[in-house]
Amino acid sequence: MGLFSFLTNEVAVDLGTANTIIIHNDKIVVDEPSIVAIDKKTGKLIALGNQARSMHGKTHKDIETIRPLRDGVIADFNAAELMIRGMLKMITKKSGWFAPSLRMVICIPSGSTEVEVRAVRDSSEQAGAREVYLIYEPMAAAIGIGLDVEAPDGSMVVDIGGGTSEIAVISLGGIVCNKSIRTAGDEFNDDILEHMRYAHNIRVGERTAEDIKINVGAALSDIEDPPPEYLIKGPHQTTAYPLEIPVNHKEIAHALDKSITKLETAILQVLEEIPPELYADIYRKGIFLTGGGGLLRGLDKRLSEKFEIPFHVSEDPLHAVARGTGIALKHIDKFPFLMR
């Protein structure tokens, strides 16, 4: 880093479809939903993060709320740049730091195309980063939960985020085999929306679907310590009269079944590709669940029973990728798998 390293500030960014987390000086300084509110006439940023999420679905014609990332990749380049720039300003306000040079480590889905990688790099540079390093999400997740990714034995991580689920086997500091599928938190929300429409004739929005998933979401109808029913309010599909409906974990488990089956198929495809020696390591250690989707009640039990391999929900799965990106930032010279 040299003589002028004090002029360089370093941040690690988990740029997620649902949430963006920024780590500075080993601390999480920003943890906000990945959403911005923009003035349609001027194109200026009105709000971002939690403030913009509270506006989502409630705006008038002059304000638009945008989620810049879809399926783990940047869908709106301009909104992504505004969001990254705005969140970096949040750190400036909180910590008062200033540096003429900014070094950034950002995680990306393992299935990203060259165009998608370029979009992340360009957005970060436009937002003010001088040096940008990229790390694949499953690698960051493995580092974040304390696995030794450079050891000569296999570790398998299933990272279920907002836009993508990343399934990867890691050994000797590299990804041996992986699969990135677009069945994740957003698709779970869509399943819940559809279920509420067909089963109860009620219209609900994205935010309500997310709240249902958090409060009564489950992967199995038979779980220990089931959550209490969750009451939702909304308009009837056809009459628009108000409805109040209790929702329980059993019907949400049924609604999510198709998407979880897709996840199981992807895990099986990766298991089929694993070299036998690494398979033995994974069978011994188990498979680690990270990301917000890992918190779905009964998911670890369902997957363990399906594959006859233990699945472990990592500690604080929501922040595993961010923590791993933060560790990678501190050891930029040590980790050869970081991409410039």
Sequential DSSP letters for 176-234 = EEEEEES-SHHHHHHHHHHHHHHHH-B---HHHHHHHHHHH-BS-SS-SSPPPPEEEEE
**Structural domains counted in the chain:** 3
Q: Give every residue of the chain whose pLDDT is below 70, as ranges.
A: 1-8, 93-100
Tell whether 35 and 85 lie within a shared domain: yes
Token digits of residue 241: 């009269």
Q: What is the pLDDT of residue 128?
A: 82
339 occurs within a structural domain: no
Mark 116-126 as b/e (b = at least 16 C-beta within 10 Å): bbebbbebbbe
Q: What is the pLDDT of residue 98?
A: 53
pLDDT of residue 9: 83
Does 78 share its domain with 204?
Answer: no
Residue 335 placed within a domain: no
The CA-atom distances, in angstroms, between 33 and each of 106, 237, 246, 268 are: 16, 29, 27, 31
CATH of the domain at 120: 3.30.420.40
Asked whether residue 338 is assigned to any structural domain, the reply reads: no
Task: Tell whether 202 and 239 lie within a shared domain.
Answer: yes
**In terms of domains, do 47 and 96 share one?**
yes
Q: Are residues 112 and 50 in the same domain?
A: yes
The answer to whether 328 and 338 have CB atoms below 8 angstroms apart is: yes
Same domain, 19 and 102: yes
DSSP 338: -
Predicted confidence (pLDDT) per residue in 18-46, tens digit: 999 999 888 899 999 999 999 999 989 99
Cα dist. 119→68, 73, 112, 114 in Å? 12, 8, 10, 9
Q: Domain range spanning residue 245? A: 187-255
* pTM listed for this prediction: 0.90
- Both 232 and 325 in a single domain? no
pLDDT, one tens digit per residue, over 67-85 is 999 888 888 989 999 998 8
| Domain shared by 228 and 270, yes or no | no
Residues 212, 128, single domain; the answer is no
The confidence score (pLDDT) of residue 58 equals: 85
